[in-house]
Structures are given as structure tokens and as C-alpha cells.
Amino acid sequence: MSIQSVGIVGAGQMGNGIAHVFALSGYDVLLNDISEDALNRALSLIDKNMERQVQREKITAEYKAASLARIRTTTKLAELGPSDLIIEAATEREMVKQAIFEDLLPHLKPETILTSNTSSISITRLASRTDRPEKFMGFHFMNPVPVMQLVELIRGIATDEPTYKALHLVVEKLGKTAASAEDFPAFIVNRILIPMINEAVYTLYEGVGNVQSIDMALKLGANHPMGPLELADFIGLDTCLAIMNVLYDGLADTKYRPCPLLTKYVEAGWLGRKTQRGFYDYRGDTPVPTR
């Protein structure tokens, strides 16, 4: 399967990062979002992040210009139909993802590979709602995409070997490393990472430590580059809660029960960096703990 063109659904934090790395690797990219403003913000951010790479002499100014020229945008989902590979990078809600794939199906080439950047939702279940479960996979990039080396490849029960091999080659061309994961809730990285964050929120909830002491303890005591609450703000508290709910529902084990304090923050709209408030308040010059 020769993959030259890539359609990306969703121009948010993950979608624009995925577009960035594919364009740098020579793929033709068509980035889709329902919002023209979101697409413009994504292009501006990609430009800014590539310029940072130019300043660090990782790429040349000429290569940056050529890479940016490979990215086109559209608000019309149907225009992604001719792509060799589709990567869905929309919000972490199963109904939204299913609706996107159902809307795409009438416009796709028979050989188009469908993938989801989901961090937790069943690939087998998403694939079953399409006309090509054998050409459907989980394609989970880590955030921030241009920096993080890992890509999780998740096969659904029906995924065929040519599809897996084609995506493995794509990961290699991107200069990243693939880790194969079985199709169980949250796969590998988030099966381990998000419950750790949830436990950190419980530690805060129960008064064992405050935000600052919990983050300092893990940074200095476990050599983590970011504390778990700082990391939760970076990921998005709504995403953390969604993944915990997938684990809790999918594995039926009380150890995955989302912390009530995490739920409360999400209900308040304090979702972390993207809303300027989460476990830290980012509205000033320096982040300030909120508890």
C-alpha cells in the first residue's frame, strides 16, 4: 500500500501536530475542521513551531516553506475522500468519532486506510461501524507530536497484516518509533499514565499533599520531567477524565474510578492550559497552584 496523501480530521492540539510531522516528511496533507478559525490557528501554530526548528537548525528555511506548502485546509469532510490515509484526531468522544467515519465512508477510495488517534476507545468497535474494518487501525501519536518519539499502533480484531505493515512503514518514514498495543481500554501508555494522574488527584483530594508538593515529589523523587498534576493540565483534564471513564467502564474494576475532584474540575470548565485554569492558574506571568 503506497501512501502519499493524508487527510487529518481535527485541527486541534493533536491534529495540527500530526499535520506538521507528515508535511515535514514529504506527505501531501489535507487538514479538516468544522471551524475556519481553528484551521487558521493550526496553520499559524505549525508555522511558529517549524520556525523554531529553523532557529535550532533542524531544518532549513527553504525546507520549512516547502513543507508548509504541502498543507492544505478544508471545512468540508468529503474533500478528504481521495486521501490514501485518513487520521481522525477529533475530540475523545466515541459518538463524535463514529459520526465522522460514517460521514466519510461514501467519499473514500476502496483502498483508503482509516485510522483513529484515539487514546483509549476500542478500535474494534470504531472499525465495526465502517465498511472496511480490515483497513482500520488505532494510530496514537503522543503530545506534542513534533517532539515525542512514540506512536502506538493498535490493531482491531479484523485489521489485516498489509494495513499494519503500511502504517509501520509510515511511522518509520516520520522518523518515529512504533509500539504495538493490543486493543484493550487505553492501550499501553494511557493504561499506565492516566491512572497515575488520577491517583495524584486522589492524593490532592484526600489532603495528603497540595498541588505544589505532589508535583515536586514526583519530579524530584521519581525523576519525572513534569509533575502529574502539571501533566494533567497539559493533556487536558477533560481528556484525562474521558480516559478514566473508558477504563472504568471497559475493565469494570473500581481501581479505575475517576477521582471526584477531577470530575469537579471538569464540571467547572477548569480543563488545564487550554482554558487557562486547572490544577494551576495560567492567567498570570507564572502558573499558580489552585489548591
Catalytic residue among 119, 120, 122, 198: 119
Residue tagged active-site, from 16, 32, 117, 152:
152
- The yes-or-no answer on residue 224 being catalytic is no
CA 28 to chain centre: 20
Instruction: Using alpha carbons, list the distances in angstroms from residue 11 to 43, 145, 172, 235.
Output: 9, 13, 23, 16
Measured distance between the N- and C-terminal CA atoms of the chain, rounded to whole angstroms:
52
For 165, the grid coordinates are: 505493515
Q: Is 140 a catalytic residue?
A: yes
Catalytic residue among 32, 67, 116, 190: 190
Assess whether 199 carries a catalytic annotation: no
The set of residues, in sequence order, having a beta carbon less than 8 Å from that of 279 and lying 6+ positions away, is 204, 211, 229, 230, 232, 233, 237, 265, 272, 289, 290, 291
- Backbone dihedral angles phi then psi of residue 268, each to the nearest 5 degrees: -75, -10
49 touches 146 (CB < 8 A): yes
What is the DSSP pairing of strand 28-32 with strand 5-9? parallel
Bond before 260 cis per omega within 30 degrees: no
Task: Select which of 67, 83, 116, 140 is catalytic.
Answer: 140
What letter would DSSP give residue 159?
A: -
Q: Where are the beta strands (DSSP E) in the chain?
A: 5-9, 28-32, 71-74, 85-88, 113-116, 136-141, 150-155, 177-181, 280-281, 288-289
Cα–Cα distance measured from residue 285 to residue 65, given in angstroms and rounded to the nearest whole number: 33
Please check whether residue 248 is in contact with residue 258, taking contact to mean a CB–CB distance below 8 angstroms: yes
Residues designated catalytic: 119, 140, 152, 190
